[in-house]
Homo-oligomer: A and B are copies of this chain.
Amino acid sequence: MKVVLLSGGGGGARFARGLDDVLPAGDLTVIGNVGDDVEILGLHVSPDLDSLLYTLAGLIDDERGWGRAGETWRALAAAGEWGGEDWFRLGDLDLGLHLVRTQRLREGASLSEVTAELVARRALATRILPATDDRVRTLVETSAGILPFQEWYVGRGHRDEVTGVSHDGAEDAGPAPGVVEALANAEAILLAPSNPYLSLGPILAVRGIRDAIVGRRVRSIAVSPLVGGRSVTGPLDRMLRRMAGGTTPEHVAGSYEGLIDALVIDEADAPAEAGVPLTVTQTLMRDRAGERRLAELVLEVACG
């Protein structure tokens, strides 16, 4: 069953791992968010693609939820001592990836080409495609002004209330090679339990991707990232409250209007009405088995 998943990092990447575990090898394509990408110390960093790569390759620090297990921070500390920026945490192991990707990009490779090389290097069964090879950058409108995503999220610890989100460059961005084809060939389209504004928003802001999903002939299922109206990590609950008026399944479904046929929600959010059929389960993935359980259930919902 050919499946396309739209995903950010974090919980999205864990859900991707669940799907990767339960689907036949080669059946899963993940379209990853690049709106969080950032240039740090001259290196191109793609946090969500990295989380997908690290999670699927078994390298992720599952405790921390990002970056590599067994990480150290010596290069960054040294850079700081020489006057370099050190507010964005790049570990030593992590740097190896950023160095290789940045070098290839400077040589003229596209982000999707480099990503394919990295996936091949670890012989992953699942394809990872950046949503776009063009430059799309998430900007958040806050009480402190309009801020680039990482400056707000990491630099200021996402403490400023968000009143709006935009995706700079998205209007002119085209889907990366393979993205539209993957969506056209998919037997199911899934939206990971990621932040609708910050993680899936930049993917869906690429017109070619949104149009392909709006015009789908297969079912599209989203998994709500909320548990009992609260985000598992991150500021989504505060954002939804301010920008959509609440944190019920209906508010989540509203952010995917026209894009989904069903929403999977957590027991803690039931009962509810959301304008689309709801399936209730335990969405919190406590371990690998939990990831697989959620993946299997969502695939069942996708089969209608």
CB pair A74–B72 under 8 Å, yes or no, is yes
- Distance (Å) between the CB of A192 and the closest chain B CB? 24
Question: Which among B43, B83, B96, B100 is the interface contact of A77 at CB below 8 angstroms?
Answer: B96
The number of times this chain is found in the oligomer is 2
Fill in one digit per residue for A66-96: 1 if any B CB lies within 8 Å of its CB, else 0: 0010001011111111111000000011111
Known pairs A41-B103, A42-B103; A96 contacts B78 (CB<8 A): yes
Q: Across the interface, which residues of B come within 8 angstroms of A79, CB to CB?
A: 95-97, 99-100
**Alpha-carbon distance A77/B59, docked complex (angstroms):** 14
State which of B75, B93, B103 has its C-beta within 8 Å of the C-beta of A84: B103
Check if A38 is an interface residue, CB within 8 A of chain B.
Answer: no
Picked from B75, B77, B83, B118, the residue with its CB within 8 Å of the CB of A117 is B83
Report A20-66 residues with CB < 8 Å from chain B CB: 41-43
Task: Confirm or deny: A121 has a beta carbon within 8 angstroms of a beta carbon on chain B.
Answer: yes
Whether B82 pairs with A118 at a CB distance below 8 angstroms is yes
Whole-angstrom distance between the Cβ of A63 and the nearest chain B Cβ: 19
Q: A41-B103, A42-B103 are in contact. Are A96 and B121 (CB under 8 A)?
A: no
B84 adjacent to A42 (CB under 8 Å): no
B103 contacts A78, C-beta separation under 8 Å: no
Q: How far is the CA of A21 from the CA of B74 in the complex (A)?
A: 29
- A78 neighbours in B (Cβ, 8 Å): 68, 92-97
With A74-B93, A79-B95, A84-B103 already in contact, 12 other A-B pairs whose C-beta atoms are closer than 8 Å = A41-B103, A42-B99, A42-B102, A72-B74, A72-B92, A74-B74, A74-B92, A75-B75, A79-B97, A82-B101, A82-B118, A92-B95
Interface residues of A (CB under 8 A from B): 41-43, 68, 72, 74-84, 92-97, 99-103, 106, 117-118, 121
